[in-house]
């Protein structure tokens, strides 16, 4: 079993920055791609960013490209999402997820991930 715990969310003004973290326990994350998704009220959960198991490949949804950066520290079993130039439309609960298979590149579909955290709220005020 893997437990994923997100942290670092909060309230920030538009234009500000936040870094959210996802710490894993139970099993190592080093062989698995990881991703961040988000869900705003009344909307579907959507892909934000992913990172391959090796960290060599990253992928970003168009709305966050150039503003968000995903990274991982396998020694700490932790994945990060640095969010800069935040906008009110970034307001959502942010979830991290672990890929269902080992040694995969980052993928965009929710079905490709089998473990999820409980989420952390990010609120951007205008």
CA 89 from centroid of its chain's CA atoms: 16
For residue 106, the 8-state DSSP code is: -
Q: For 49-108, what is each residue's pLDDT tens digit?
A: 999 998 999 999 999 999 999 999 999 999 999 999 999 999 999 999 999 988 888 899
| Alpha-carbon distances, residue 120 vs 15, 56, 104 (angstroms) | 19, 26, 25
Tokens 């060599």 map to which residue?
A: 56
- 56's CB contacts (< 8 A; 6+ apart) are none
CA distance 107 to 99: 8
Which pLDDT score is estimated for 28? 83
Q: For 36-53, what is each residue's pLDDT tens digit?
A: 999 999 999 999 999 999
Helix, strand, or coil (residue 112): helix
CA 124 from centroid of its chain's CA atoms: 17
The tokens describing 62, both together, are 């168009």
Q: Between β-strands 10-13 and 120-125, what pairing exists: parallel, antiparallel or unpaired?
A: parallel
């Amino acid at each position: 079993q893997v437990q994923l715990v997100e942290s670092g969310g909060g309230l920030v003004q538009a234009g500000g920055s936040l870094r959210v973290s996802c710490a894993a326990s139970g099993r190592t994350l080093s062989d698995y791609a990881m991703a961040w998704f988000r869900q705003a009220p009344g909307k579907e959960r959507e892909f934000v960013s992913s990172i391959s198991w090796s960290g060599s490949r990253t992928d970003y949804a168009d709305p966050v490209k150039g503003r968000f950066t995903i990274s991982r520290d396998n020694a700490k079993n932790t994945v990060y999402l640095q969010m800069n130039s935040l906008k009110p439309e970034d307001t959502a609960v942010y979830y991290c997820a672990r890929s269902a298979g080992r040694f995969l590149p980052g993928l965009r579909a929710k079905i490709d991930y089998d473990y999820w955290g409980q989420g952390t709220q990010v609120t951007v005020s205008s």
